[in-house]
Each structure stands twice: as C-alpha cells, then as structure tokens.
Amino acid sequence: MKAIVFDQFGGPDVLHEADIEVPQPGPGQVRVRVKAAGLNALDGKIRSGMLETVRPTTLPAVPGGELAGVVDALGEGVSDVHVGDEVLGWSDTGSYAQYALATTVAPKPAGLDWQHAVALPVAGETAERVLNLLGVAAGETVLMHGASGAVGTLAVQLATARGARVIATAGPSNQDYLTSLGATATVYGERLVERVQALAPDGVDAVFDLAGKGALEDSITLRGGTERIVTIADFGARQLGITFSQGSQERSTARLAALAQDAAAGKVVTTVTAYPLGQAATAQQVSDAGHVRGKLVLTVD
Ligand SMILES: NC(=O)c1ccc[n+]([C@@H]2O[C@H](COP(=O)([O-])OP(=O)(O)OC[C@H]3O[C@@H](n4cnc5c(N)ncnc54)[C@H](OP(=O)(O)O)[C@@H]3O)[C@@H](O)[C@H]2O)c1
C-alpha cells in the first residue's frame, strides 16, 4: 500500500512516499481503508525527534493518529463493527496511509464528510477532557489561549454549549473566526492581562492554554494562583505548579459517536484545510508554523 514514511528525524522534508505492507488486524482491532487522516501538531513534534526522550519512535515510521474511512477487515473478537462500516477514530498504526489499524472507532453519520469527520477524534477528546478537568460550568468565564486551532475550535463551542462565557485569544486574522464560534475574541501578546481584565471585570474562573506559548504567568496573575489552569502544550507547566493534561487513553466510542452526530446536525462546526496524501510534507510544514485555523487533514484515494 501507499504510505507516508520517515526513516530519520528532521524537518518535514524527511517525509516521503513509500510502498509498505498492508497491516493485519490483531485481536480487538479493525483495519480501515483510510479516506482522510487528521494532522496534529504532535505529528511534527514526533517527526522532529524532540519527543524521543519521553516517547521514543521506532523508524521507519508512518505518522498520523486519527482516521476516517471504511472498515475492510476485522481482528479476532470484534463484534460491534462490521466490514463496510464507515467510521472515524484513533489509529493504532500511522494513518498517513491507504490502510491503518484501529481499536476505538465510532460510526460516521451519513451527513458528515470524511474531512470533517477526521477533525473530531483527537480535538474532541482533548477539548472535553480539559473542560471536565477544569470543571467548567454554566455561568462561568473561561479564558482560552490560542483557540483558533483544531482543539480550540471545538473547545470554544463545547464550553459555550455548557453555558460558559469564553474569552479566547488568537492572532489578528482569527478574531472574526473566534467570534463566529461564540467567543469574545482578543489578540495574544502584550498587555493581555489588562485586556482580559477589561473584558471580565469580575475575573476568569478557569484558564485553558492550548498554545503553549508562554501565557501561563499571565494566567496565574488573572486567576490569582495556579488553581483551575490547565495547559495541553506548555512543557514549563509543572515548574509553575500548573497541570499539564496529557493525551488520554480513555477514548470513548460513545462520546465520539455523539460528537459526530452533533457535527452532522450542524450543532458543532469544524473548519478544515485538506491536502492530498502526497503533500503530507507541505501540510506538516504548515502545521509546524503554528498558525492553522481549525484542522489540517490529508485526503487518501
Ligand atoms: N496534551 C494533549 O492531550 C494534546 C492534544 C491535542 C493537541 N495538543 C497540543 O495542543 C496544541 C494545540 O493544538 P491544535 O491542533 O489545536 O492547534 P495548533 O495548530 O497548534 O494551533 C493553535 C493556535 O495557536 C495559535 N497561536 C499561535 N501562536 C500563538 C501565541 N503566541 N499565543 C497564543 N496562541 C497562538 C494560532 O492562532 P493564530 O493562527 O491566530 O496565530 C493557532 O490557531 C499543540 O501544541 C498540540 O500539540 C495537546
């Protein structure tokens, strides 16, 4: 099968197309004929080698942790998914490929296309996990740093659906985008504390840092301490006594299925930019630059 592979760590140009063996599903796994693969900032961090001390990768490797596609083979013991089912979920093997294996998948509603479906698994689980960790409730005000990316697009909507008010940061070109998602928008950078205080004179109840770009000290000032601040991207968090939430293994088919239904019904929107599989290096270059609106995806023939 055709796949995108890297056999050394480095920049996006280490990614190349290769012909590799089609993977065989083990117990509890399904094999999926991939229609769309989701890009995550994590893919570039793994490819660069920066995570080798904490999360070693065996080379050669196929990137990609989420997929949408059609089930084409079942491993032993799988009874709730059938060959021919259209699904979305997390991949156990790299999803930048024509076929990948998966353990946790949810049905793709007919009204949701492949590209928008693959925007949901990682971003949806992350957004929901952190909002739960922060205990965001109706009537509260949440500050989100860097909310115009894949996770932020869903986090803003899931928080406002809980009845919370969201103040969200992004660059100047994404202010209208944040507003369209339901947030009160402001730019990141200088005088952030004063600007947020002006927007929320009674203070912010919780802070969700999605950017990892040095906003934690401002967050402590705004919260008056380290309570109810969570980051998913700032590796300096623990030194400041702030919670870093890691990718969770508590993946839920039921919650992903419900999110997919909401997306198909238009209750949750995603924004995607798609590249063909062969342009994975270009897509990762865009992702590495860190100014993506919504989700980058790869389409697979
Ligand atoms: N720990 C976990 O479980 C977990 C799970 C998923 C993702 N992540 C991490 O979370 C981060 C966000 O991922 P993502 O896929 O949503 O999006 P992303 O591609 O990393 O981009 C997020 C947003 O950050 C904004 N941004 C850029 N520079 C900024 C700055 N200096 N201050 C504030 N915001 C800034 C960008 O807005 P503009 O374009 O407007 O500049 C962009 O829209 C990544 O680092 C990813 O690796 C962690």
Is the domain of 113 the same as that of 135?
Answer: no
Q: Please give the pLDDT value at position 301.
A: 86
Is the domain of 128 the same as that of 238?
Answer: yes
Q: Is there a domain that residue 15 lies in?
A: yes
In this model, does residue 248 exceed pLDDT 90? no
Is the domain of 102 the same as that of 175?
Answer: no
Ligand 1 is surrounded, with C-beta below 6 A, by: 40-42, 122, 126, 145-146, 148-152, 169-171, 174, 188, 210-213, 232-233, 245-247, 287, 290-293
Write the residue with the smallest CA distance to atom 9 of ligand 1.
233
For the CA of 171, the closest atom of ligand 1 is 40
Write the residue with the smallest CA distance to atom 48 of ligand 1.
232
Q: How far is the CA of 288 from the centre of ligand 1 (A)?
A: 10
Q: How far is the CA of 14 from the centre of ligand 1 (A)?
A: 23
Q: What digits encode the pLDDT tens for the residues 164-216?
A: 999 999 999 999 999 999 999 999 999 999 999 999 999 999 999 999 999 99
Q: Is there a domain that residue 258 lies in?
A: no
C-alpha–C-alpha distance, residues 293 and 296, integer Å: 8
Of 45, 86, 51, which is closest to residue 67 (Cα–Cα)? 86
Q: What digits encode the pLDDT tens for the residues 97-148?
A: 999 999 999 999 999 999 999 999 999 999 999 999 999 999 999 999 999 9
Is the domain of 94 the same as that of 77?
Answer: yes
Host domain of residue 34: 2-119+271-299
Is the domain of 95 the same as that of 148?
Answer: no
Residue 247's pLDDT band, with cuts at 50, 70 and 90, is: confident
Q: 255: Cβ–Cβ under 8 A, 6 or more apart, which residues?
A: 124, 125, 128
Is the domain of 115 the same as that of 130?
Answer: no
Q: What digits encode the pLDDT tens for the residues 205-246?
A: 999 999 999 999 999 999 999 999 999 999 999 999 999 999
Is the domain of 290 the same as that of 205?
Answer: no
Q: How far is the CA of 61 from the centre of ligand 1 (A)?
A: 24
Q: Are 208 and 230 contacting, i.e. CB atoms less than 8 angstroms apart?
A: yes
| Beta partners for residue 91, in sequence order | 102
Q: How far is the CA of 117 from the centre of ligand 1 (A)?
A: 20
Q: How far is the CA of 118 from the centre of ligand 1 (A)?
A: 17
Q: Please give the pLDDT value at position 202.
A: 97
State the CATH number of the domain containing residue 293: 3.90.180.10
Q: What digits encode the pLDDT tens for the residues 252-294?
A: 999 999 999 999 999 999 999 999 999 999 999 999 999 999 9
For the CA of 170, the closest atom of ligand 1 is 40
Q: Please give the pLDDT value at position 103.
A: 98
Is the domain of 31 the same as that of 104?
Answer: yes
Picking from 244, 262, 284, the residue at the C-terminal end of a domain is 244
Q: Please give the pLDDT value at position 171.
A: 98
Is the domain of 173 the same as that of 73?
Answer: no
Q: Please give the pLDDT value at position 41.
A: 97
Residue 90's pLDDT band, with cuts at 50, 70 and 90, is: very high
Q: Is there a domain that residue 94 lies in?
A: yes
Picking from 225, 244, 263, the residue at the C-terminal end of a domain is 244
Is the domain of 115 the same as that of 135?
Answer: no
Q: How far is the CA of 192 from the centre of ligand 1 (A)?
A: 17
Q: Is there a domain that residue 76 lies in?
A: yes
Is the domain of 7 the same as that of 105?
Answer: yes
Is the domain of 128 the same as that of 109?
Answer: no
State the CATH number of the domain containing residue 149: 3.40.50.720
For the CA of 232, the closest atom of ligand 1 is 1
Q: What digits encode the pLDDT tens for the residues 17-40?
A: 999 999 999 999 999 999 999 999
Pairing of β 66-74 and β 295-299:
unpaired
Residue 8's pLDDT band, with cuts at 50, 70 and 90, is: very high
Q: How far is the CA of 73 from the centre of ligand 1 (A)?
A: 35
Extract the tokens encoding 58. 């065996």
Q: Is there a domain that residue 252 lies in?
A: no
For the CA of 150, the closest atom of ligand 1 is 16
Pairing of β 66-74 and β 86-91:
antiparallel
Q: Is there a domain that residue 148 lies in?
A: yes
Residue 256 to residues 16, 59, 104, 161, 223, Cα–Cα distance (Å): 31, 31, 9, 16, 32
Residue 250's pLDDT band, with cuts at 50, 70 and 90, is: confident
- Average pLDDT of the residues in 78-95: 98
189: left (phi over 0), alpha (psi -120 to 50) or beta: left
Q: What digits encode the pLDDT tens for the residues 36-62?
A: 999 999 999 999 999 999 999 999 999
Q: Are 15 and 281 contacting, i.e. CB atoms less than 8 angstroms apart?
A: yes
Q: Please give the pLDDT value at position 290.
A: 96
> Domains in the chain: how many in total?
2
| Strand spans (E) along 181-244 | 184-187, 206-209, 229-231, 243-244
Q: Is there a domain that residue 254 lies in?
A: no
